[in-house]
Structure 1
Amino acid sequence: MPFVLLVFAIAFEVTATLSMRASEGFTKLWPSLLVVAGYLISFVFMAKALTSLNVGPVYAIWSALGTIGAFVGGVLLFDEPVRPFAIVGAVIIVVGVVVMNIGGGVHQG
């Protein structure tokens, strides 16, 4: 169950981040409201997941998948360019999360 909560936290965080881009500097009401609601809901799900999972690896997973989700969303929704170094960076992020989980891991306690 905590991993399901983490997935929801990531989804709402990505939604909030992409909504921030769509808000055009908080000049558009509905995307701006989605930013606030998305981050709030994301933090609630994250807090619930952290009641039984280790904070370091979980935060690494949350931030890494959120970063990659925002990158992919920016490409798909806003026609942002895909540059080779950005792809290399995404791979490095994923490798870092894998290494963190091998070293400390998440656990349900």
Structure 2
Amino acid sequence: MKSVLLLLIAIISEVIATCALKESAGFTRLLPTLIVIIGYGIAFYLFTISLEQIPLGIAYAVWSGLGTAGTILVSNLLWNEKLQLVQMAGIVLIIVGSVMVNLFNQPST
């Protein structure tokens, strides 16, 4: 359970860092640039620790699915970047796929 929590915190950190990229203006603004560096540092560190208990494929599926959805949600809220219906459907499929990968994960013997 601890590994899942660390993975979720890693994903949140990655979403924050990714969104700060937009605000960094090509790394010309100090505060957003620092947020990018620190956010990705935390994200990759926690992701690495979570891999001690979570298989890489599963962890990466969750990371990419929730990270993509989170980044899209934040960009919509902060910068009013609207999505078309087909794009929303794609995001839902990413999330459903991540959930399916986790629900039907068979432990290796």
Task: Quote the Cα distance in structure 2 between the aligned partners of 1:105 and 1:79.
Answer: 40
Q: Which runs of 5+ in 2 are unaligned?
A: none
Q: Which has the higher contact order (CA 8 A, sep 6+)?
A: 1
Task: Quote the Cα distance in structure 2 between the aligned partners of 1:106 and 1:2.
Answer: 16
Identity %: 37
Task: Quote the Cα distance in structure 1 between the aligned partners of 2:27 and 2:16.
Answer: 15
How far did 1:90 drift? 0.4
CA contact (8 A) 1:8 1:42 kept: yes
Task: Quote the Cα distance in structure 2 between the aligned partners of 1:21 and 1:86.
Answer: 20
What corresponds to 2:23 in structure 1?
22
The number of residues matched between the two structures is 107
CA pair 105-36 structure 1, distance change in 2 beyond 3 A: farther
What corresponds to 2:82 in structure 1?
81
Q: Which runs of 5+ in 1 are unaligned?
A: none
Write the letter of the residue equivalent to 2:42. Answer: I
What corresponds to 1:13 in structure 2?
14
- CA RMSD of the aligned region, Å? 1.7
CA contact (8 A) 1:54 1:105 kept: no
Write the letter of the residue equivalent to 2:76. Answer: V
Runs of 4+ in 1 over 4 A off after TM superposition: none
